[in-house]
Structure 1
Amino acid sequence: MANWNDPQPTRMGGFGASPSLSGAMVGSAGAVDQGLRRYMLSIYNYMASGVLLSGIVALLFRGVAEQLILTGSPLLWVIMLSPLAFVMVMSFGANRLSTGALQATFWGFCAVMGLSLSTIFTVYTGASIAATFFAAAGAFAGLSLVGYTTKKDLTGMGSFLIMGLFGIIIASVINLFLKSPGLYWAISFLGVLIFAGLTAYDTQRLKNAYYQLQGSEFMGKAVVLGALTLYLDFINMFQFLLSFMGDRR
């Protein structure tokens, strides 16, 4: 890892190699690996804590969501669309926000996302939501592990998946007017596949970003933004998967 420019890397530690140089290189590689593990664990901890916060808020405000749906309150649209505003602030304002402000914005996003998710609890049974959650969590863990360990460059796949994401967003907007069941199921199926792929791609991208950012002042912000990325991958995969596994009340 640290000997990319060594013309004879296979000789490290062998006959004629410098013991002190070999030890320093191994120590440097070990330090990078430990730093990478801490960096990725910080991202996963933020992401998991955010999901937990969203779930608690969704459970607490389920009754409020039911009342808003029954009365047709316009506040329902505010709740459903407000997470997008938080995402835009974090994505485009990361450089201007301090690390503490970015962290606070992330927790605010997770809380507001919980309000938005509370509408799901009014549509599907608790048992099917729980089953889908654990299925999505298992899939996410496996796909993220693939992205972290694979030696294959997923950049090309990521570009294709991002184009597909824009496609299903456009299709979803169109289907708000068409209300086509066939298009709905197609969007849900493609959504699961796209966010499954993005989970692996984003994990690899975040891992690679560590080597560019280590030691920089932006590292703390990168952890929060990485957690936001994986949170969105998981939540979207969960919601699309719920279309197939969820039992309506």
Structure 2
Amino acid sequence: ADLVGLHPTLHRPYPDEDRRAGLVRLSYAADLGLLHAVARATAHTDAAREQVEWSALHAEDVRSLGLREAFAGLPADTAARCRAEAREAYALGRIGSVDEAVAATWRWRSGTFPKLVQTVGPAGSGKTTFARGLTGVDAYVSLDDLREARGSRADQRANGEVLREGLGRLDRALAGGGTVVWDATSLTKQQRSLVHGIAHRRDALITHAVVLVDEDELVRRNAHREHPVPPDVLTGQLRRFVPPYPGDAHRTWYIGAAGTVEEEV
């Protein structure tokens, strides 16, 4: 899916001064050699083919730093934060080696920064079940819970007010430190960005918990949920759903239909 979503970007012009950083970030989601191979195979104009070849030349200078091994001895959250910050520093050309990555991430070694887990997925995918099963959570912000406190979790008429209340609670919780869960569908980049803005301001580790369940299973689950959504609402969510790419957060967990983390990026 990442290959399908990302390869068309190699067909388009890109500022050369930003190209290396862009390629490094693409490498979080897909092997660059494979990504360029798919882009070549689908380029239908001379201009697109030229862009792919020019990008491939720049990609030869992008390499893996082996950051997972560099931070293997740290607690999981701290290691994830250090890897993410080192990857970004490498993308921006500020570091070029593992030793420099280790030196550049000392400020996060204490692990005292707040942590945010943001669930991502359509209704009935298992977000809440997964989130409620996490240990070490200090605060839990659920937009459905906020709607229910107003009278009905199905009432969407006050969504703006509910969102503002939820973001306020999130800000206060992250300011207090610890681990905070944001439980909502977060289907689009715009929806996720509102939460990210607060997390960045509070210097929080951001983890996307992306729940991937196929449509037939979602429909089956929805029919047996305590709070089912109308079928047309679920169809609309699936149509709007744009899963995040690796690198959009410090860490991404992919949650399967069984409700467990099947991959971490």
TM over 0.5: same fold? Answer: no
Tell me the TM-score range normalised by the shorter chain. Answer: under 0.3
Larger RCO (CA under 8 A, 6+ residues apart): 1
TM-score by length of 2: 0.23
TM value normalised by structure 1? 0.24
More strand by share: 2
> Larger Rg: 1 or 2?
1
